Homo-oligomer: A and B are copies of this chain.
Amino acid sequence: MAAPTAVHPEIDLSTAGELGQQLRVDSVRSSTSAGSGHPTSSMSAADLLAVLVTRHLHYDWDDPENPDNDHLIFSKGHASPLLYSVYKAVGVVTDEELMTKYRRFGSRLEGHPTPELPWVDVATGSLGQGLPDAVGIGLAGKYVEEAPYHVWVLCGDSEMAEGSMWEALDKASFYKLSNITAIIDVNRLGQRGPTDLSWDTDTYRRRAEAFGARVIVIDGHNLGEIDRAMRQATQDSHDQPTVILARTIKGRGFSEVEDREGWHGKPLPPEMAERAVAELGGERHLTVRGPKPDASSRPARPSADGSGVKLPTYSVGDKVATRMAYGQALAAIGARKDVVAMDGEVSNSTFADHFAQAHPERFFEMFIAEQQLVAAAVGFSARGFKPFASTFAAFFSRAYDFIRMASISRAHIKLVGSHAGVEIGADGPSQMALEDLAMMRAVHGSTVLYPSDATSTVALVAEMADLDGISYMRTTRGAYPVLYQSDEQFPVGGSKVLRSSDHDQVTLIGAGVTLYQCLAAADQLKADGITARVVDVYSVKPIDTDTLTAAAAATGGRIVVAEDHHPEGGLGSAVVDALTGAGRAELSVRHLAVRNMPGSGTSAELLNAAGINAEHIAAAARDLTM
């Protein structure tokens, strides 16, 4: 790797201009060599990046873990050739890697950026997510770390059609995040034709201003204008996020594709690439470095010291809603300075308000914007925090793309959804999460927890703080008796056998509200002389395969699973997957789940109508043991 020929303190604009051409050339070369990629979407933004990385981005390329570094997020992740060409220009990726590894199997230079690369904070490629993620980073910098780093986000114009971008601007202005600059590459063309606003920067300006941003409209190929706008973004005193609206030309620099339709996401064929490189002035191998961060104001990494944490305890038999235990546990673990929390305007229902009251400086109200809620958590995770985000479990479905991408971002976020299933009662199906377990289980590397009582909830909340990846806890609206002593352990991946004997005839499996129904069913069965084993599967993913297979073996493969969820992909599916994935299995399974469209009613009426209450569980067990 070439040693950087740093031109500090400031690289002149003509060098930046040269760099812009180099970034174009390398975007063309790398995508042509890969046989796929988005050169034209890279070429429109090359001048913006050239000026940014040489003169405004404060970044120590030799130390990507440096907490002082600015952040550079490619919200338009398909412009990865440009990003990786920047990495070559600053000397952290070689030309050889760029030309032989881009988009190849096993390479860190993936088709869209991921944190496999140490300079990438969040994975992008699903449009409209980079700016929302940046809001989380901006919140951390402004309110928790009180650090001077700046968050630069390169956005596409097409992605301004995603509502999430406006959720992000709304929150960035509400929280006065002057540490965020969104650079919008208005190149007029989307994948299949013009964007809905084309080059109408005036409308973009009015929209962004109305959403509270300070807006600077520039010619995105005029180096002086770019430079002034970026200086203004960081140096002027203001309390707004900045939006730089850069009017650009897609494919800029190569006359055969400039501003032409039909060239989105297509590499130039080799001969055409040769002409492009020639027109762009040939290959260059400039290595440049921009300014470094000011180390004097170095923010402290958030402390994970849990010595001040005193978890709440409950007495067996007390009726406590798991959502209440969540709120109380969260407030308690908030003694750790690395724990932050945010909620989607329902903190008095999720009971995240306990944290908000105890630690107002680390609580962020995201209002009714669940995409931004999850994105903020992702941003905090990128800064090393342990973010807990809560809303009604049903409404995390609003953010599923963000959750999926958070997994690709290698983010460590903790999602807690209350009011799950028909148990919620009168509010009706729009408020009933009946797909959440399926949705969360399908996320790569996720952890899915569904405690039944307050004691297990508290233990699992404390564990969640240090779990890697996406973890999800489902909490229940109603208050049910505490089942466990406060010193009981609840390891992730475990389960609890609540009833068992050496002559069990059937295994009853539940979690959350259905565990209580299983216990009641076991009592009913006992009266009939049927002995049932009852398992609390508080950890739905990973699931306790050993305990389940042992229970199946002990009870002749007779299993009743009851869940307050649609039948696909939830608890029953997890149980059956575990039992059939563990070798040859002989099973008689009755899977009780919510198979019809529920309406309003009381919890008891709805659990009965769904066929998941004690009577239905007992009937299924009787049927199996007959």
A624 CB, nearest partner CB in chain B, Å: 9
A56 is an interface residue with CB less than 8 A from chain B: no
Given contacts A163-B166, A369-B162, A569-B438, contact A431 B112 (CB under 8 A): yes
- A110 cross-chain contacts in B, Cβ below 8 A: 428-429, 599-600
A490 is an interface residue with CB less than 8 A from chain B: no
Tally of chain A residues near chain B (CB < 8 A): 116
A97 CB, nearest partner CB in chain B, Å: 13
A94 CB, nearest partner CB in chain B, Å: 18
Q: How far is the CA of A208 from the CA of B570 in the complex (A)?
A: 41
A400 is an interface residue with CB less than 8 A from chain B: yes
A159 is an interface residue with CB less than 8 A from chain B: yes
A581 is an interface residue with CB less than 8 A from chain B: yes
- A439 cross-chain contacts in B, Cβ below 8 A: 400, 435, 438-439, 442
Q: Is the CB of A163 within 8 A of B161?
A: no
A394 is an interface residue with CB less than 8 A from chain B: yes
A527 CB, nearest partner CB in chain B, Å: 26
Which residues 602-619 of A sit at the B interface, judged by CB distance below 8 A? 602, 605-606, 609
Q: Can you tell how many copies of this chain the complex includes?
A: 2
A483 is an interface residue with CB less than 8 A from chain B: no
Q: Is the CB of A429 within 8 A of B408?
A: yes
Q: Is the CB of B206 within 8 A of A445?
A: no
Q: Which of A112, A158, A369 has the most CB of B within 10 A?
A: A369
Which residues 434-464 of A sit at the B interface, judged by CB distance below 8 A? 434-435, 438-439, 441-445
Contact of A127 among B170, B368, B404, B407 (CB under 8 A): B368
Q: How far is the CA of A167 from the CA of B370 in the complex (A)?
A: 15
A residues near B, CB below 8 A?
34-37, 77, 103-107, 109-112, 114, 116, 123-128, 158-159, 161-167, 170, 174, 190-192, 195-196, 203, 206-207, 209-212, 345-349, 353, 367-372, 394-395, 397-398, 400-401, 404-405, 407-408, 425-431, 434-435, 438-439, 441-445, 541, 557, 565-570, 572-574, 576-577, 579-581, 583-589, 591, 596-597, 599-602, 605-606, 609
Please name the residue on chain B nearest to A350 by beta carbon.
B192
Contact of A126 among B77, B395, B408, B585 (CB under 8 A): B395
Please name the residue on chain B nearest to A36 by beta carbon.
B426
A173 CB, nearest partner CB in chain B, Å: 9
Please name the residue on chain B nearest to A101 by beta carbon.
B600
Please name the residue on chain B nearest to A580 by beta carbon.
B589
Q: Is the CB of B577 within 8 A of A573?
A: yes
Contact of A601 among B104, B166, B212, B429 (CB under 8 A): B104
- A167 cross-chain contacts in B, Cβ below 8 A: 161-163
Q: How far is the CA of A584 from the CA of B195 in the complex (A)?
A: 56
Q: How far is the CA of A347 from the CA of B190 in the complex (A)?
A: 11
Given contacts A126-B395, A192-B347, contact A569 B573 (CB under 8 A): yes
Q: How far is the CA of A55 from the CA of B110 in the complex (A)?
A: 59
Contact of A192 among B127, B207, B346, B565 (CB under 8 A): B346
Given contacts A166-B166, A191-B346, A566-B442, contact A112 B577 (CB under 8 A): no
Q: How far is the CA of A255 from the CA of B123 in the complex (A)?
A: 51
Q: How far is the CA of A597 from the CA of B597 in the complex (A)?
A: 35
Q: Is the CB of A568 within 8 A of B573?
A: yes
- A557 cross-chain contacts in B, Cβ below 8 A: 584
Q: Is the CB of B568 within 8 A of A438?
A: yes
Q: Is the CB of A441 within 8 A of B569?
A: yes
- A212 cross-chain contacts in B, Cβ below 8 A: 203
Q: Is the CB of A128 within 8 A of B368?
A: yes
A447 CB, nearest partner CB in chain B, Å: 12
- A207 cross-chain contacts in B, Cβ below 8 A: 207, 210-211
